[in-house]
Amino acid sequence: MNRSIGKRLVRSFLLIIVLAVLTIEIFLVVGFKDFYYKNVETELESKLSVSLDYYNKFYSEKNLEDLIKENNNLMWSHINSEVQLLDSEGYVVFDTIGVLPSSPVDTVDIKSAKRGESNIYVGSSNYTNEVIMSVAGALTNDDGEIIGYIRLISSMQEANFAILKSSITTGMFGLVVVLITMFMSYLLANSIVKPIKELTSVAEKMVDGQYKVRSSVKTNDELGQLSKTLNMMAEEILKRDQIKNDFISSISHELRTPLTSIKGWAVVLKGAKPEERELLEDGLTIIENESDRLSKMVEELLDFSRFISGRIQLEKDTFNITDTCRDVAKQMKPRVESNKVEFINEIEDEKVLIIGDENRIRQLLINLIDNAIKFTSEKGWVKFQARREENNYVMLISDNGVGISKEELAHVKEKFYKGKHSKSHSGLGLSIADEITKLHNGKLEIFSELNIGTTVKVSIPIPEVEKKEDTNE
């Protein structure tokens, strides 16, 4: 997992958990210390209060020397702590453990006692070097004079040991938590990294052209969605690749057919006699027609190439699209009638100006009407309607031909797509028509039912200028 997302995840999780555990550990140790120290402090203050009450009741008439001589430890025998008696100067004159320092005691508890206050001192003992806690109080006689001080001292060794023990316990617990977290982080990271590795492997195979490979990641999360998308992409690539191969095969056949016909008739005409005029005319007519068909297919391929490469440029100008529709209808009428199909012209007379490439609009309409004728049987009909609808100029080419199935309808505008019908040729006609419509900011829609007929609707937006001119008129 070197330099991998898994390693980064584990490292990130561990860093967060270790910081959290350390923070908790610090708060716990501070809490333990406060707890144990507070208990010792409360105990010392309670003992000091009891000792001072005891002194005030039974020994307040005596001076410090008499108190030391006569009491004989009765006053503090009930106190389980070290007890010191200090004179008014701060010198220790009595200690229950027998240690009498030569220098006066000048700690914070003694200073506070001199001011009539109570304060706790925590520090090192000047004769045992261990940590102690002490509290002191003033001894006042019946005349209100301070004759000395009583000081209670408790070793913090037990409290510190309890704090250390608690800290070690919590530290061990924290270590266990970190180890468990490390293991869980590894499992979690692996659950993320493993499908990512599989997706990467599948993607690399697809880059190598192995589009039949599929990802088996089925999780209900973003990785599962990515896996699903990757599989769908591979299926789409395979489908489009198949369409492309079919197109190449089909277009090769379509190009070969007129070439074969041209070559065949060229051979026939080469051996024909001058007096065989009818044969010569038939042959030349066929060669001309086949050449036109070949030229048309090549032009379609060139157009399509320009459209998909974005090199096509419209020669835009303002023109009356109604006149264009009428011209196309006149041009296509003989072609429709020669196929023994009824041509219905329902172009409204209203003048409508649009901005666009008139030749491309002609190409679009001729293409659509030609398709309608091609897929309509004899004694059928082809209808051409054109009218303004609100902000658009709408052209509809309808027929009662073979129609298109629902499965094919979703793909008919795709590049290279050819229907199952035998009259389908290059598979570029509708793709080119759709591209021309889009270049005019329009919309091409196809409505069809199998064995009933097809309607192609082209909507071209009418510019604001034309609408203002209509208003002025």
Instruction: Please give the pLDDT value at position 319.
Output: 94
Which pLDDT belongs to residue 15?
86
Give yes or no for residue 97 having a pLDDT over 90.
Answer: no
Question: What three-state secondary structure class fits 397?
Answer: strand
**354 or 65, which is more confident:** 354
> 157-207 and 5-58 helices cross at what angle (nearest 10)?
170
The answer to whether the beta carbons of residues 384 and 329 sit under 8 Å apart is yes
Residues 136, 104: Cα–Cα separation, whole Å: 14
> Any idea which architecture 317-472 has in CATH?
2-Layer Sandwich (3.30)
Domain spans, the chain: 5-162, 222-309, 317-472
Of the chain, the percentage scoring pLDDT greater than 70 comes to: 87
Task: Output the pLDDT for position 296.
Answer: 73
Distance separating the N- and C-terminal Cα atoms of the chain: 77
Q: How far is CA 463 from CA 39, 364, 390, in A?
A: 90, 20, 12
- The secondary structure of 335-367 as a DSSP string is HHHHTT-EEEEEE-----EEEE-HHHHHHHHHH
Q: Which CATH architecture has domain 5-162?
A: 2-Layer Sandwich (3.30)
Tell me the C-alpha distance between 295 and 289, whole Å. Answer: 10
Backbone angles phi, psi at 290, to 5 degrees: -65, -35
Please, which residues bridge with residue 199 across strands? Answer: none
The residue ranges of DSSP E strands in 56-130, in sequence order, are 82-86, 92-95, 120-124
From the list 375, 292, 367, the residue with the least C-alpha distance to 341 is 375
pLDDT tens-digit map of 297-328: 777 677 767 666 666 677 889 999 999 999 99
> What would the two tokens of residue 115 be?
């001011």
**Enclosing H/E stretch for 18:** helix 5-58
pLDDT at residue 2 tops 60? no
Which H/E stretch holds residue 449? strand 443-449
Give the model's pLDDT for residue 247: 64
Of the candidate CATH numbers 1.10.287.130, 2.60.40.10, 3.20.20.140, 3.40.50.850, the domain formed by 222-309 belongs to: 1.10.287.130
DSSP bridge partners of 452: none
pTM listed for this prediction? 0.47
Is 418 in contact with 245 (CB distance < 8 Å)?
no
For the segment 205-259, what is each residue's pLDDT rounded down to a tens digit?
Answer: 888 888 788 887 777 878 888 888 888 888 888 877 776 776 676 667 566 767 8
Q: Are 342 and 326 in contact (CB under 8 A)?
A: no
* Percentage of the chain exceeding pLDDT 90: 21
Residues 162, 36 contacting (CB under 8 angstroms): yes
- Beta-bridge partners for 317: 356
How much of the chain is helix, strand and coil, in % rounded to 5? 55, 15, 30
Better-scored residue on pLDDT, 97 or 384: 384
Q: Is the pLDDT of residue 467 over 60?
A: no
Residue 388 confidence (pLDDT): 94
Range in 9-13, 170-174, 299-303 with the lowest mean pLDDT: 299-303
Give the pLDDT score at 396.
96
Per-residue 3-state assignment (H helix, E strand, C coil) for 111-167:
HHHHCCCCCEEEEECCCCCCEEEEEEEEEECCCCCEEEEEEEEEECHHHHHHHHHHH
